[in-house]
Amino acid sequence: MSSGAALAALIGIASTEAAECPRKDALGTSRVLSVDARTTPRVGLKSFPQTLALADHEVVLTFDDGPNPPTTSKVLVALAQECVRATFFLIGLHASQHPDMVKRIAREGHTVGHHTFSHPFMARIPFDKAKGEIDRGVAAVEMALHGSSTATPSTPFFRFPYFQGTQAQLDLLQSRGVVVFGADLWASDWNEMTPEQELKLVTERLAASGKGIVLFHDPKARTAAIMPAFLRYLRENGFRVVHIVPAGPPQKSADAR
């Protein structure tokens, strides 16, 4: 199978180009990829044997643990200025506390994924409690987005806190058609460091890997601070941003009220 055919078989191409960007010198979003749980139930080389079939110098930007209005809003401004779309894996408790920010993330074209309700170590708790964390987290995000408390996610993307989950939990998510995301590289922004140190760390890791799913945490002030410079680094070094969406029907639009 050719590399192009393999890519289409693996995740499919929802669109070859993202929406037109009004700023011609912006980084932009190069293309949109639909990710299908039937063919890619788990991705991210830090956790799994396989990842998304990205070309050289293609990156997927992901943010965990939000929303946190003071910092998430700064991240959103930086992304908007460069016409870049990302994926936010939201904690249900935070989504229930800041529904307007959840709506804003979706309204600005980003993908909204799930990250449990309260961010526990999932591998250390009983299965029923873990299932409740998944269901309650999804329900809180869906309520914030659409006013409907359902455990069926409109975007079936999930990431384990600390990348820790059991086989039974993985099987549960796969049976529900939910893609589990790891990452290919991360900014290690949970560690104490200056914004300059974080920027140096993540750009060096990206230069070494050449592509991949990148993990940040939008509640971290140091990450919000470096985002304009990080996006500028991508633009100046020939990287292209890929926006991921679920296969199947398009995401419902967030209520703009």
Determine, yes or no, domain membership for 149.
yes
Residue 41 has pLDDT above 80, yes or no: yes
Task: Determine the pLDDT at residue 249.
Answer: 54
Q: Is residue 107 part of a domain?
A: yes
Is 243 one of the annotated active-site residues of the chain?
Answer: no
Do the domain assignments include residue 253?
no
- Structure confidence by residue, pLDDT tens digits, 88-107: 999 999 999 999 999 999 99
- Give the residue-averaged pLDDT of 26-40: 96
What local confidence, expressed as pLDDT, does residue 16 receive?
32
Q: What is the pLDDT of residues 169-211, one digit of tens each?
A: 999 999 999 999 999 999 999 999 999 999 999 999 999 999 9
Residue 22 pLDDT: 81
CA gap 205, 152 in Å, rounded: 36
Q: What's the whole-number mean pLDDT along residues 144-154? A: 93
Catalytic residue among 94, 119, 217, 243: 217
Q: Are the C-beta atoms of residues 206 and 116 closer than 8 Å to each other? A: no
| Any domain includes 17 | no
19 contacts: CB under 8 Å, gap ≥ 6: 29, 83, 109
The amino acid that residue 126 corresponds to is: P
Is 99 inside a domain boundary? yes
On whether residue 251 sits in a domain, the answer given is no
> Is 167 within 8 Å of 130 (Cβ atoms)?
no
Tell me the CA distances in angstroms from 18 to 33, 110, 146, 238, 240, one per residue in order. Answer: 10, 12, 24, 17, 12
Contact 32, 245 (CB under 8 A): yes
Q: Print the domain residue range for 89.
A: 35-246
| This prediction's pTM | 0.90
In the set 36, 64, 184, 218, the catalytic residue is: 64
Q: What's the domain count of the chain? A: 1
Q: How many angstroms separate the CA atoms of 225 and 181, rounded?
A: 25
Residue 74 included in any domain: yes
Assigned domain for 230 exists: yes
CATH number at residue 80: 3.20.20.370
What would the pLDDT profile of 50-68 be if each residue is shown by its tens digit? Answer: 999 999 999 999 999 999 9
Check if 217 is active-site.
yes
